[in-house]
Amino acid sequence: TRNKISLFTRCLAMSRLRSAMHKGKRAAQEMVETAKPNIFFFGLPEETTNAALPSAYHTFPDPADVLQLRSQLLNWYDKEKRELPWRTLAMTEPDLNIRTYAVWVSEIMLQQTQVATVKDYYNKWMKRWPTVQDLASATLEEVNQMWAGLGYYSRGKRLHEGAQKVVTELKGQMPQTVDSLLKQLPGVGRYTAAAIGSIALGQVTGAVDGNVIRVLCRLRAIGAESTSPAVTEALWGLANTLVDPEKPGDFNQAMMELGARVCTPKAPVCNRCPVQSHCRSYRKVKTISNLERKTSSLPDIEDCGNSGTCLLCPSDPWDDELGVQNFPRKPAKKPPRVERTLTCVVIRPGEEGEDEYLLTQRPNKGLLAGLWEFPCLLLEEENSEMKQKRALCAVISRILGTPLTESLCKYVGEVVHIFSHIHQTYVVHSVRLKDGDTQTQTENAQWLSRSALHEAAVSTGLKKVCVLFTQRVCVCVCVCVCVCVCVFVESLLCH
């Protein structure tokens, strides 16, 4: 084993030395001959030393490799792409304005949301608001209602604001360039503008989302933190170099598809990858594997010539168990904030015997902006159940303008809901009122029947509270029925 490690160490050291010397000499020669800036690392100050610039190891210096990768990826995409409604619209819709709007909607919906979840929402949305003019004429309440359950609710609000801006300020015409999309549509960032521009408008620009970051980092062994400015600019430079000028939209979607289905965060399927021959991380895995088996012809381990000073190389050592999953490297996530919220399901008898539920509307800004919820109160510190009930009753009393006693408030249970940055626990109570004529005394409050509640703009967290409340009510009813049956049977036996 000691000999094996020694052999590997010597080979690795010699290989890196040869690679560094060769690439350093070549890089210096190219700089003298061309005197051109490094297009993959624009954004660095002019005084940045050459040693800090990434070597060709992290780029695609050979145009033949670029052409081959484009061909391989697009051929794979033509055979393997999923049939998705927004892709169909982008390919078949002749009206440029509608096509741009349709792709815009899909890209906003797909942010932080899985494709399988988006499909139904997208179809319903486009059926109801097929043009930007239709969306602009809708109310925010209608938009929130349609968006309910999709999460990250500010996205729907920004779509609505953007549609109104297009109609009122741009004469109903969607922006037609990446720059104008970026500047004129709220909620549209660098990636979204590039995706819309390439897919809907055919503009030749790369697009870098989470899937593309992973693919590019593995292809070129970029192991520094993927959110660093140096890596961000390098990845956009790579994307703009690789994008196919004839089919920019298809190419960008192919990169995303590859990251979603083959080059996945965990358990990537490298043997199905159409661009495997261009992947430096895969080649490194195979090379190390061959060295460990002590093959007769020891391969040269390709590496970055600027290792140690390169802003794109990983700072952590290679982990054999991770393989290609050594890339990309992400900064550690902050743990979600833990919150506990008191919430109360307030019921009153409605018309025709159907119960009605009291809902209040959240502020127009912040978490779950504009959505409807049961009366609630953030629990600042743990206290007794009686104090919790007293606090909830005070909130409900202000809404109704009617004093309530704690005895009306019944504990139901707890429900956990996870936001991206909050671990939320709803401590659920219920209050059943006898007066069907109870009116609300504050704005942004209303009574809804159960059927109307299901159609309202409410969050997934509220739906979980509803499920818990319904389950507990059913259990109580079953227990009461069982008790009544037992009493009835016992009375029969006694007689």
* CB-based burial, 123-138: b 16+ in 10 Å, e otherwise: eebbeebebbeebbeb
Q: What is the number of helices (H) and of strands (E) in the chain?
A: 17, 7
| CA atoms of 152 and 367, how far apart (whole Å) | 8
* Candidates 46, 107, 406, 443; catalytic one: 107
| CA atoms of 121 and 111, how far apart (whole Å) | 13
Active-site residue 142, yes or no? no
Structure tokens at 438: 């109870």
Structure tokens at 297: 């012809």
Query: How many residues does the structure list for the chain?
Result: 495
| CA atoms of 260 and 268, how far apart (whole Å) | 10
Structure tokens at 180: 């104008």
Would the CA dihedral through 83, 85, 90, 91 be positive or negative?
Answer: positive
User: Environment class of residue 367 by beta-carbon count within 10 Å: exposed (0-12), middle (13-18) or buried (19+)?
Assistant: middle
DSSP state letter for 363:
P
Complete DSSP assignment for 223-279: -SBTTSHHHHHHHHHHHHHHS-SS-HHHHHHHHHHHHHHTS-SSS--GGG-TTGGG-
Residues near 118 by beta carbon (within 8 Å), at least 6 away in sequence = 106, 109, 110, 150
Phi, psi of 418 (to 5 degrees): -105, 120
Tell which residue, 165, 140, 108, 186, has the closest CA to residue 372: 140
Catalytic amino acids?
107
